[in-house]
Amino acid sequence: MRRAVIAFTAFMGGLIFVFLAGASTAWAAEGEEVRGTLRIQGQPVAGVKITVATDADAPVGEATTGADGTWKVAVDKAGSYKVTLDQATLPAGKALRDPNRGTLTVQVFEGNARNVLFGLVDANAPPQGQQGDGGGGSSYWTRVAQLVFEGLNLGLIIALGAVGLSLIFGTTGLTNFAHGELLTIGAFLAFFFNTVIGLHLLIAAPIALVIAAGLGWGQDRFFWGQLRRRKTGLISMMIISIGLALFLRALLLFLFGGGGESYDQYVAQAGIQIGPISATPKSLIAMGIEIVVLIAVGLALTYTRLGKATRAVADNPALASSSGINVDRVIRLVWASGTCIAALAGILLGTTQNLNFQMGQQVLLLMFAGVTLGGLGTAFGALVGSLVVGMFVQVSTLWIPPEMKTIGALVVLIIVLMVRPQGILGRRERIG
């Protein structure tokens, strides 16, 4: 057993090294550049002019943001550069959060691309902290309504990923740190069939989901199931999942590069006004899909034979096995369905932002927060916890900078667990 673990660790380490080396070489070969994405309230801003110059104000190049809000300018060598956003080219009603920061000085290192971020706001909304009427004006509450809507959207996406994470933990006890990469794999499978093969996203997405479900089934059949049969400890399996996450992330970087990608359809859409809320049709449809899938998962867990078997395995695998339930089959189906749902979350997330090899990792912490907050091992708890996390992440930007909004989710997680350690819907357990 010890020799098998050592051989497996060496094999995985070698693969990670090879892919990281190849990926870093391919990435470095692209040369130095500055790039970024202009968005406001999650929507891309197109047609904005960006210019790049040296420290001595010698012009280097310029770019105009595309339909997905992205832009990039190649530079000759590493060094310090001035990046300027032409505020006159901003669409009506849009402005820089700080008009004095229209020019940013950034450092570009050899062989790397430097991301440059410009904060945009609705020019018709009053600055934060200056809403008038003590923050109780109509514009303030319009902003609150918009953030609540965006928080609900984010919470539903987190919930899709967290449900699979919670079910896998409940049935196997595994804390899977590679679950975020399942979202990324789903998004890039749809991207491959959409942009490379040329299928419409409405056709590419179902194909990606079927393949993702097969990958989830095979992952347990040929990998995690083998480790369980060898009586590998949960701590060891958790550490292996971290290595698997690094490997999958490096593989995605090697295959698709480090830049942002987007689907051919549903990149930029005009917003529609629903009362105080501005939303795009794709965000409303995505939320509808998320709600339907989550309701279907809840009903399946409650009323179907497979759902009851899954809950039985989560409660007591040994007793479930003695009752005639095929525990391995149930776990394998949980892996397949959990991976498929996670892939769906990645695809829907990819319609609201650029695809990149780290997109799953960026929401993994929020998924863990949602699962822990709702109650470990409970699908319904993962749903409730994820909605709380998503809402708090977005609404907290009323009082803290948007760059720190993830920290707010962890603060509310700590506060709730101090009052209710088992989570919102978790059950108390007696230890000892």
**In a domain? residue 19:** no
Band the pLDDT of 411: cuts 50, 70, 90: confident
pLDDT band at 135 (very low <50, low <70, confident <90, very high): very low
- Highest mean pLDDT: which range of 64-73, 136-145, 244-253: 244-253
Is residue 61, in this structure, part of any structural domain at all? yes
- What is the per-residue pLDDT across 178-232, written as a single tens digit (0 to 9) for each? 999 999 999 999 999 999 899 999 999 999 999 999 999 999 999 998 998 888 8
pLDDT higher at 213 or 24: 213
Mean pLDDT comparison of 83-87, 208-212, 381-385, highest-scoring range: 208-212
Q: Three-state SS across the chain? A: CHHHHHHHHHHHHHHHHHHHHHHHHHHHHCCCEEEEECEECCEECCCCEEEEEECCCCEEEEEECCCCCEEEEECCCCEEEEEEECHHHCCCCEEECCHHHCEEEEEECCCCEEECCCCEEECCCCCCCCCCHHHCCHHHHHHHHHHHHHHHHHHHHHHHHHHHHHHHHHHHCCCCCCHHHHHHHHHHHHHHHHHHCCCCHHHHHHHHHHHHHHHHHHHHHHHHHHHHHCCCCHHHHHHHHHHHHHHHHHHHHHHHCCCCECCCCCCCCCCEEECCEEECHHHHHHHHHHHHHHHHHHHHHHHCHHHHHHHHHHHCHHHHHHCCCCHHHHHHHHHHHHHHHHHHHHHHHHCCCCECCCHHHHHHHHHHHHHHHHCCCCHHHHHHHHHHHHHHHHHHHHCCCHHHHHHHHHHHHHHHHHHCCCCCCCCCCCCC
In a domain, 131, yes or no: no
Any idea what the CATH number is for the domain that residue 376 is in? Answer: 1.10.3470
Which range marks the domain in which residue 101 is found?
37-122
Verify that 228 and 356 share a domain, yes or no: yes
Where does a domain end: 90, 122, 154?
122
pLDDT at 23: 44
Q: What is the pLDDT of residue 324?
A: 86
Q: What is the CATH classification number for the domain harbouring 64? A: 2.60.40.10
